[in-house]
Structure formats: structure tokens, C-alpha cells
Structure 1
Amino acid sequence: MRIGGQLYLAHRYARAATNRALQAHQLELRHLGVLTCLAEAGPLSQRALVDRLQMDKSSMVYMIDELERQGLAERRRDERDRRSYAVHITPAGRDRLAAATNTAAEVMTGLLTPLTPTEQGQLHELLARFIEHAEQT
């Protein structure tokens, strides 16, 4: 199997295992991505979230609607541009993010057990370089 197929399967297996574990938090990995982005960057427009997470615009609207329904994020008028909205993570969103992040980390630790700590570090470094290059092309 070529590396593209391997990356695809690795992503699919990791995503499926993580999503199963995140069901306990009523989240999926895609929700975790949005909440993490908001927690790290602060309030962002939906457009900025789409760009950062490489998601489809309509999927992002649906995602934020779901997060709002659960009280984990909220849209507020942007203070700099009253015509647009910024998405904010709520305190409940921060709490759920912390718990879900721990769960996701446990899943990843389990999936990486066939690799030595040195190999895990190498994989991390190689993927970081791959992503950095891909972002620039």
C-alpha cells in the first residue's frame, strides 16, 4: 500500500476510535477541533474557523449550531464589525473540551502502543513537517 492509502487508513481508524470514545462527552472529533481552535485562538468568525480547520462552510454552520445547542459555544456580534458574528467558547465548552481532550489522548496513547516512545516522537515530527509543507503548497 502506498503512503497516501496508509495516511487515509490511519486517519480513518484514529477518527473512528476517537469518535467512539467521545460519545461519552456527546462530542465528535470535529467538535473537538472547533472547540480547541476557539480555546486557543479566542473568538473567531465562522470564516476564520473554516480556513483554519479546512472545513466546508455549510458543515461549519451545522457544527456551530450543534455546539450552541449544547451550550458549548455561542455566536456574538463582532465588536469590530457589527455586521458579522464571532464564535465564542463558553465556560461549559471549556470544561467539556478538557474532559474530551483527555479521553482523546487516552485513545491515541492506546493506538500508538505498537510504537516505541522514540518512534512516536519521529512520527510526530514527520507528520508536523508533512502538514507544514502541505499548508504552504
Structure 2
Amino acid sequence: MDLMTLRDAPLGRLLVVAGHVTGQRWNRYLAEEHGLTQAGMVTLTTLARHGELPHRQVAEHCFVRPATLTGIVDTLERDGLVERQRDEADRRSVRLAITPAGRARIDALTAAIRSGHPLTSVDADPTKAAVVREFLLEVIADGDHGTPEGPAC
């Protein structure tokens, strides 16, 4: 990636590129350090937060379709991180539960996230980090409101 060509790019374009690069790095970190995909992490986090839930409710919490969640759960179950349980009241319904190994995995990831290691020199400077945080929160909050000229990408 040529940073010189991005130096004069509009902020919107920089935000898109930064999001893409950060997403790639995050996914690589999840895979290499924790053996998870983004979808697997969200599923484990949901089960850690809410406890045992029906498959359909987990899908809703993860913003995916139940059919999409099936493959994610297959992988997590194969790795011993979640287990499927038939609902005794309705044998057609499957409930999902995090295993102790799954809980340990999500606890380790949470500890790493909360460790406070700065991502960049800007992140290490509280004043600069506050400006970037404010900008990102405003972009997120105004995400549904385009400008009359359209996006600045």
C-alpha cells in the first residue's frame, strides 16, 4: 500500500481503507492467537453474555440467519467451544451453550482486548486519541445520514 497516494485522500476514503486494513489485521490476530473467526468470536461472546440460548436467538444476537449460524456452530462445536443440546420441551429446538473451554477462550480474548496496549502512537496519546474517538463516534452516529454531495470516498 502506497501511503503517499493516500496522504491527500478525503477523510472518508482514509476511513474506509483504515477499516479494511484493521479488519484484516483483527481477523488474522483472532485466527493466529485465539483460533477464532470474527463470527465465532461474536457467537462465543453472545453465549458468554446470555448463557444457554436457542439457536434462533443466538442468530438474532449475532445478526446472521439461523442457516448461517449452523456452520459457525459446527466449527465451534468441533473445537469443543460450544455444545448443542436438544430442548426437552421441544425436541425440534436446539439450544446452544458455551463449554468451559469456550469460556476460557473468550476470557483470554477479553483480557487481551482490555490490556490497553496502544495500536499506534496516536492511540498512546490521550489527547490525540480523544479527537480520533470523537470523530469515529460521530461518523458512526451519522452513518445513516449522507451529505448532499454524497460520501467523501
Bin of the TM-score, shorter chain as denominator length: 0.7 to 0.9
Please list every run of 5 or more consecutive structure 2 residues that lacks an aligned counterpart in the other structure: 1-9, 145-153
Stretches of 4+ aligned residues off by more than 6 angstroms: none
Please list every run of 5 or more consecutive structure 1 residues that lacks an aligned counterpart in the other structure: none
What's the offset of the Cα at 1:94? 0.4
- TM (norm. structure 1) is 0.73
Classify 1:9/1:53 alpha carbon distance in 2 versus 1 (closer, same or farther; 3 Å).
Answer: farther
Distance 2:11 2:103 in 1: 39
Aligned residues: 131
What's the offset of the Cα at 1:118? 2.0
Partner of 1:102: 111
12, 16, 21: which one pairs with 2:20?
Answer: 12
Q: Quote the sequence identity (%).
A: 30
| Root-mean-square deviation over aligned CA pairs | 3.1
What's the offset of the Cα at 1:74? 0.5
Name whichever structure is richer in helix by fraction: 1
What's the offset of the Cα at 1:125? 4.6
Q: Partner letter of residue 77 of structure 2?
A: E
SS at match of 1:114: helix
What's the offset of the Cα at 1:33? 0.6
- TM (norm. structure 2) is 0.66
Q: Write the deviation string for residues 5-39 of structure 1: whole angstroms up to 9, x where unpaired.
A: 66654443222111211222211222111000100
2:74 equivalent to 1:65: yes
Classify 1:81/1:104 alpha carbon distance in 2 versus 1 (closer, same or farther; 3 Å).
Answer: same
Classify 1:56/1:8 alpha carbon distance in 2 versus 1 (closer, same or farther; 3 Å).
Answer: farther
47, 50, 68: which one pairs with 2:59?
Answer: 50
Classify 1:12/1:99 alpha carbon distance in 2 versus 1 (closer, same or farther; 3 Å).
Answer: same
SS at match of 1:47: helix
